[in-house]
Chains A and B, each alone.
Chain A
């Protein structure tokens, strides 16, 4: 009895801020409003499957995947260094990663704008070293850079937390059984760290797929991602129906990728069976 009454505020909160908005999204997605009135329709969805929008979807997926991969390749070694090192150095590296996260996300991204600009910090530095200028602002590269920069900590921290919990005795046992350091890594450390890798990938891929700030600022608006598309529909075009439909596609995509990831998480036990 007490338990269920204690849950009431949460239930109200969830209803107000999660369930009702979701229902509204569903409602808008499946209706079209014309001067004659509002009717049920799949039109918003069929519109999304036009090539121009599919290209946006494809680009979003590609950029998110590339960013996630780069985050993994950069983040794993950092997590290993942090997990394997003496106390003081570990804390310094950790701080380096966490301090930028205390700063506002928008500010951080604006800072990159200043760095990458035609006459920004990077190019001033390059030309002072008499190296050729680099104009990567408003390219895919800049967007990926922004994503990697912003989301890297979400890759490093979960991997670090799993790695630091691996019993040193297990590593010794593998060495005892004849495994050199490469084999210790491929056969013991990496498989044991998979849960961290999976949650790192999830935590980077999701926001990378849905971001619209990074692509707008660093992509200069010419590299529309699916997040920008949704934003435009709601705030600029005012087509809530189409915006809701795209949002629903996104929700489905995210649920799908979460399902895939959790499948991998269960699978890593079976995968090593052979």
Chain B
């Protein structure tokens, strides 16, 4: 059991009238790669700013290595940040931007040169040392921001959508490099992203947030395979979410038919959300199918086709399949009991 390095205990943050965070409890272990995932405005940046010391919690406390740091100013925290809006020093060139933290620590010139050189290589910006940061492209600026924070080898690195401005290829490369750095240097990463694929592929732990509240904390597999509610299911990967009624354990009604499933522990006749991943729906002959519908659209997406199949009750089922049927065809949809995920309705 590794120790917790950062803990938020009952933290809330209220700006004027906006509740940016509501009673957040989060423990981050040493060397963990934690990703905060959620729609825009759900409080991801606010969480990072609280850990970084740029905001004070309205309620609750923030702990670092077992000490309450709620009132410690940011410059004394052993945390560095890659800001969402870069915040580079426009009066300094690329080299001096990256060297800034090292100069504050009064390292000798030799060490600084070596460390900055290593970082420039890592973020693929060799030869840019003397460039004015304002003359860089968005992606280049973002990489300077990453290098400027990472060069200090902090205990905890906070990254606010650090790869958002990069093209796909560079993004993949940087994901790989960042993950490597994190493992090699043993730095704890708290990472914010909109890109769920990025979140799933890089993280040890994913925190799904909505409206300032944590919806689910878990490994990428847990979040994907066992989402705790329809919001998480809908946010992580694409999903079909329909209304259903739980008749009894392992038996659910939806889409005008009765299906076997694997979920237990619901009330008899309880209304539930039924979640089905599009890749779990398979095309089968109409006469064998409980669910049928008419193909409304077909889109080729490279590896597979994406089809929308309109059922008689008006539900448009999203289907991912390597096979396709032309628009207008009536098709049957099959699904295995273990691919039906039953979620409690979130009571409003």
* Residues of chain A whose beta carbon lies under 8 Å from any beta carbon of chain B: 167, 169-170, 172-180, 183, 187-188, 191-192, 194, 268-269, 272-273
The answer to whether the Cβ of B89 comes within 8 Å of any Cβ in the partner chain is yes
Interface residues on chain B, size class: 20 to 34
**A176-B75, A177-B152 known; A167 and B87 CB under 8 Å?**
yes
**Contacts A176-B52, A269-B132 hold; do A191 and B148 have CB atoms under 8 A apart?**
no
Q: Is the interface of A mostly helix, strand, loop or mixed?
A: helix
B33 CB–A CB distance under 8 Å: no
Kindly state the separation between the CA atoms of A55 and B91 in the bound complex, as whole angstroms: 41
> Contact at A173–B73, with CB atoms within 8 Å?
no
B134-149: contact bitstring with A at CB < 8 Å (1 yes, 0 no)? 0000000000000011
Shortest B267–chain A CB gap in Å is 50
> A177 and B148: CB pair below 8 A?
yes
Complex CA–CA separation, A17 to B86 (angstroms): 49
17 intermolecular pairs with C-beta atoms under 8 Å apart: A169-B87, A170-B88, A172-B54, A172-B74, A172-B83, A173-B89, A173-B148, A174-B100, A175-B73, A176-B54, A177-B104, A179-B75, A179-B100, A187-B104, A188-B89, A272-B92, A273-B96
Does the CB pair B101–A177 fall under 8 Å? yes
Residue of B nearest to A177 (CB): B101
- Decide yes or no whether B90 CB sits under 8 A from chain A: yes
A residues in contact with B152, CB < 8 Å: 177-178
B73, B83, B89, B152: most-surrounded residue (chain A CB, <10 A): B89
A175 with B91: CB separation less than 8 A: no
Residues of B within 8 A of A169 (CB): 83, 85-87
**B74 proximity list for chain A (CB < 8 A):** 172, 175-176
Say whether A177 contacts B80, CB under 8 Å. yes
Residue from the list A173, A187, A194, A273 in contact with B87, Cβ < 8 A: A173
The answer to whether B81 has its CB under 8 Å from any CB of chain A is yes
Say whether B96 contacts A272, CB under 8 Å.
Answer: yes
Residue B238 CB within 8 A of the other chain: no
CB-CB under 8 A from B53, the residues of chain A are: 175
Pick from A172, A183, A191, A272: contact of B104, CB below 8 A: A183
Please tell me if the beta carbons of A178 and B104 are within 8 angstroms of each other in the complex.
Answer: yes
A172-B54, A183-B104, A268-B91 as given contacts; A178 in contact with B83, CB under 8 Å:
no
Q: Which residue of chain B has the shortest Cβ distance to A269 in the bound complex? A: B91
A100 to B53 alpha-carbon distance, docked (Å): 42
Tell me which residues across on chain A come within 8 A of B169, comparing CB atoms.
none
Q: Which residue of A lies closest to B54 (CB)?
A: A172
The CA-CA distance from A155 to B149 in the complex, in Å, is 36
In the complex, A188 Cα to B92 Cα: how many Å?
9
B85, chain A: closest CB distance, angstroms: 6
Q: How far is the CA of A126 from the CA of B92 in the complex (A)?
A: 51
Interface residues of B in 50-104 (CB under 8 A from A): 52-54, 73-75, 79-81, 83, 85-93, 96, 100-101, 104
CA distance A188 to B80 in the complex (A): 17
Q: A191 near B91 (CB under 8 angstroms)?
A: yes
Most A-side CB within 10 Å, residue of B75, B92, B93: B75
Give bound CA distance, A172 to B45, whole Å. Answer: 14
Which residues in A have their C-beta under 8 angstroms from that of B80? 176-177
* Bound-complex Cα distance A173 to B91 (A): 14
In the bound complex, residues from chain A placing their C-beta under 8 Å from that of B100 are: 174, 177, 179, 187
Contacts of B105 in A (CB 8 A): 178
Least CB distance from A271 to B in Å reads 10
Which residue of A is nearest B78, CB measured? A178
CB pair B81–A173 under 8 Å, yes or no, is yes
Chain A residues positioned under 8 Å from B101 (CB to CB):
177-178
> How distant is the Cα of A93 from the Cα of B80 in the complex, in angstroms?
37
Most buried by A among B79, B80, B87, B91: B91
CB-CB < 8 A to A170: which residues of B?
87-90
